[in-house]
Amino acid sequence: MKKIYSIIIVVILLASLGFSYLAYNKVNGGNTQQDSLSKIQKTKIMKVCYVVWPPAVIKDSKTGQLSGHDIDAIEMMAKELGVKIEYHESTFGNMATAVQTGQCDLGTSLFVKIPRAALVDFSDPLFYAGNSGLVKKGDTRFKTIEDVDKPGIKVAVSTGESGDIYATAHFKNAQITRIDVESSDISRFLLEVTSGRADIGIADANTIRLFAAAHPEATDVFAKNPFDINPNGWPIRHGDSPLKEFINNSLLYIQTSGGWDQLEKKYDAHWLHENKTYSIN
């Protein structure tokens, strides 16, 4: 009889442990994956998804070497942690999914948007930036962004980029053309404007500024008044609290130790000093 009671007690204990595990698993969104910081420290490798987006991420067209204020900051963290970086080229449209699914431990700067926030968490904002529009020189139809959403207006955007997210949410009348682009040439979709296939291209203000500077036949129509100001942060997998805390504390150290000032000067990245406003000067 005592043996039977012992067996019953063992069964009850195992069942309790099982229920506790299920409850914990439910509270944590079913995520039983090892936290990324522990994995990084164990494997000595940090996997980083990136999109070429100067001055945050710059890629040498000849050597493939990466630089930029995001890259330098991540490299600083990796050096202090004693790990190597394994870079994975991505796009604005799929970086959040790549982080969510564990292909990468974190990603470089992304506009913090609600659809993206449903997929991933973000570090504290590194800077704030807005969107702008590109038109052919001499086109004076668009005084405000509201002027764009009219029947017959063709809008070019890069799939998954901030301009695409904005246009999808706000344009009900304009015709939106989405162009898939490679990470190394995120502004290629703006050729739709210079070729006359689109009336205006919408993207983050820095991409528009750089393209307009390289194409005298085009104009940055909202250069002095970017719209849809957004925080920019590094995407991290939901529930990856140790890695998020490590990144935020590291960014705080880089900022307070003068590292951000050095990166601003090195890459002419004035948005690193911007708070909730945007400036490209």
Tens digit of each residue's pLDDT (9 = 90 or more) over 252-271: 999 999 998 999 999 988 77
Do 136 and 155 belong together in one domain? Answer: yes
Do 169 and 217 belong together in one domain? Answer: yes
- In this predicted structure, what is the pLDDT of residue 18? 41
Dist. CA 57–CA 76, nearest whole Å: 15
- In this predicted structure, what is the pLDDT of residue 184? 64
Do 242 and 202 belong together in one domain? Answer: no
Q: CATH code at 268?
A: 3.40.190.10
- In this predicted structure, what is the pLDDT of residue 273? 63
Residue 281 tokens read as 């000067």
Do 225 and 134 belong together in one domain? Answer: yes
Do 120 and 138 belong together in one domain? Answer: no
- In this predicted structure, what is the pLDDT of residue 187? 85
Do 194 and 141 belong together in one domain? Answer: yes
Of 201, 136, 194, the C-alpha closest to 174 is 201
Q: Please indicate, yes or no, if residue 17 is contained in any of the structural domains.
A: no
Tell me the whole-structure pTM to 2 decimals: 0.79
Helix (H, G, I), strand (E, B) or coil at 72: helix
Place of tokens 């393209």: 211
**Regions of the chain where pLDDT drops below 50:** 2-3, 5-32, 276-281
Where do the DSSP E strands lie in the chain?
45-50, 58-59, 66-67, 84-89, 106-107, 110-111, 121-122, 127-136, 154-158, 175-179, 200-204, 218-220, 227-233, 235-236
- In this predicted structure, what is the pLDDT of residue 186? 79
Dist. CA 233–CA 248, nearest whole Å: 10
- In this predicted structure, what is the pLDDT of residue 183? 65
Of 155, 200, 192, 198, the C-alpha closest to 174 is 155
- In this predicted structure, what is the pLDDT of residue 234? 98
| Inter-residue contact 277 to 230 (CB < 8 Å) | no
Q: Please indicate, yes or no, if residue 6 is contained in any of the structural domains.
A: no
- In this predicted structure, what is the pLDDT of residue 278? 43
Helix (H, G, I), strand (E, B) or coil at 273: helix
Q: Please indicate, yes or no, if residue 1 is contained in any of the structural domains.
A: no
Residue 11 CA: distances (Å) to CA of 4, 7, 22, 48, 53: 11, 6, 16, 45, 57
- In this predicted structure, what is the pLDDT of residue 6? 46
Q: What count of other Cβ atoms lies within 10 Å of the Cβ of residue 18?
A: 10
Domain residues for 154?
A: 129-229
Q: Please indicate, yes or no, if residue 89 is contained in any of the structural domains.
A: yes
- In this predicted structure, what is the pLDDT of residue 28? 42
Based on DSSP, count helices (H) and strands (E) in the chain, helices before strands: 10, 14
Q: Please indicate, yes or no, if residue 23 is contained in any of the structural domains.
A: no
- CA trace torsion 49, 54, 55, 59 (10° rounding): 60
Dist. CA 266–CA 244, nearest whole Å: 26
* Count of domains for the chain: 2
Do 120 and 44 belong together in one domain? Answer: yes
